[in-house]
Amino acid sequence: MKRKWWKEAVAYQIYPRSFMDSNGDGIGDLQGILSKLDYLQDLGVDVIWICPVYPSPNDDNGYDISDFKGIMSEFGTMEDFDELLNEIHKRGMRLIMDLVINHTSDEHPWFIESKSSKDNPYRDFYIWLPGKDGKEPNNWASIFEGSAWASFDGHRNQQGIQTYLEELKDRTFSRYDIMTVGEANGVSVDEANEWVGEKDGKFNMIFQFEHTDLWGKEGKKSLDIHTLKRIFTKWQTALDGSGWNALFLENHDLPRSVSVWGNDEKYHTASSKCLAAFYFLMQGTPFIYQGQEIGMTNVHFPTIDDYDDVAAKNLYQYETASGKSHEKVMEAIWHCGRDNSRTPMQWSAEKNAGFTSGTPWIKVNPNNKQLNVEESMARSGSIYHFYKQLIQLRKDHPALIYGSFQLELPEHDQIFAYSRNFKGETFVVMANLTETHAPTEAFGKDYASELYLSNYEEAALEETVLQPFETRVFQLKGTLI
């Protein structure tokens, strides 16, 4: 396997609108990001990915782009962008821009041209079909609930996409020493080679979403660990030696992992750390979503008016119109709505979490009083410090980057365990992903081992039981006792 800087990197995703506001208008911006670069560098981040900052009518919070070459005035100017890029490079970090090229805003000049007449040269940039009896031409659903027609061209992997991606790779990607990652919802492991294969792939890595489907909708709380094991083992094994994974649990479209797979009350710290170790040390480049490093949680706003997300608003309208109660629909939005990950970054216990001196575009999660960066940095043993340790551990041990992946304890109902092997070094990661004690034959008990990381006091560790959401990372020393 080839060594590459982007395989060794740790990435951090920023949702600019909610990260840091520099001018008090309630909207996060480029100067806000700039003011937090030292924080990110100190955490150990190598690569910063910022969600779209291009001009947009904001029907889908910046993912509906009307000009791919500009900076939206809410976020700043092109000079701000140049300064941000420069300051990132100065710190030895790199920047990933979010290139949304499979759909545009309905205010993009191409779309305006395309809809202007049937013989316009831009006509076939979009899909147009005549309506039937004054209604939509068919029942295609939008990815955001409701009809796909009228407002958005859908996200679908159209036939022929590889031809376009090949061209993009040849003419752009392959000319620079850059890192590329594709959001490839719906790509199966059998197709992985043409997406991320070292030779034929178009990207260095892709986000695959199979495991996030296990979040479940409508209050499904318990995690299907056996399916989770099957999915990760499949991707880890398929790409070993031939491609590369992008590892993530959270992003701007997903709920907070600690609230869905962990327990954000009784085991907030333990489960945040357990989930972190579980995904972070597999083979691939780990991504941290803003706030994940302090265990930010889902939010429970009481009314739909407190929400901004187009998907949540459409869902509410659709479900209440078809007879569901307000309470039932809100429960679903609390559980898996996209705004769970879009509330402002919680920097401090101050008003508006230190995110803005004005009125934030979306309310702050009220738990910022206890849960914030300032508090987490000041306290040893916090989730923040655990992430820092994880990042350092991964940087110190090539086995945790390049090592092959082997699922351990495959039949266990509670514990997700795996080993990483590289040039005679073996690391083992164990994570009890449930809130009950998990008895196990101590893995590797016949070998001497060195514990590198755990989320319970070392004195409290038992040899054959993992406590609720306990995780351990250790190295096998290879000598029989």
Tokens standing for residue 25: 């208008």
Cβ proximity to Ca ion: between 23 and 440 the closer is: 23
Q: Tell the residue number behind the tokens 């949540």, with chain if given.
A: 312
Is 153 assigned a catalytic role? yes
Instruction: By CB under 5 A, tell whether 21 contacts Ca ion.
Output: yes
Cβ proximity to Ca ion: between 29 and 250 the closer is: 29
Instruction: By CB under 5 A, tell whether 31 contacts Ca ion.
Output: no
**Sequence-separated (6 or more) residues with CB below 8 Å from residue 409:** 415, 417, 430, 440, 443
- Cα–Cα distances (Å) from 287 to 10, 94, 242, 452, in that order, read 6, 14, 20, 21
Residue 68 CB coordination number (10 Å): 13
| Residue nearest to Ca ion as judged by C-beta position | 29
Alpha helix (H) residue ranges in 322-478 = 326-336, 373-378, 383-396, 399-402
> Per-residue DSSP letters for 132-180?
BTTB-SS-PBPTTSSBSTTT-------TTHHHHHHHHHHHTGGGS----
Q: Measured between alpha carbons, how far is 271 from 263 in angstroms, rounded to an integer?
A: 6
Instruction: By CB under 5 A, tell whether 242 contacts Ca ion.
Output: no
Q: Which of 46, 153, 264, 339 is catalytic?
A: 153
> Min. distance of Cβ 99 from Ca ion in angstroms?
23
Choosing from 7, 10, 29, 279, the residue that interacts with Ca ion (CB under 5 A) is 29
> Min. distance of Cβ 21 from Ca ion in angstroms?
4
Residue type, 457: E
Q: Measured between alpha carbons, how far is 118 from 113 in angstroms, rounded to an integer?
A: 10
Number of residues forming the site for Ca ion (CB under 5 A)? 5
Residues 292-321 that bind Ca ion (CB under 5 A): none
Cβ proximity to Ca ion: between 55 and 243 the closer is: 55
Instruction: By CB under 5 A, tell whether 53 contacts Ca ion.
Output: no
DSSP 212: G
Cβ proximity to Ca ion: between 35 and 237 the closer is: 35
Q: Which of 59, 83, 87, 183 is catalytic?
A: 183
Choosing from 1, 4, 8, 23, the residue that interacts with Ca ion (CB under 5 A) is 23
Angle between helices 326-336 and 310-321 (to 10 degrees): 150
Instruction: By CB under 5 A, tell whether 58 contacts Ca ion.
Output: no
Is 42 assigned a catalytic role? no
Instruction: By CB under 5 A, tell whether 357 contacts Ca ion.
Output: no
Cβ proximity to Ca ion: between 29 and 264 the closer is: 29
Task: List residues near Ca ion by CB under 5 A.
Answer: 21, 23, 25, 27, 29
- Among all residues, which ones are annotated catalytic? 153, 183
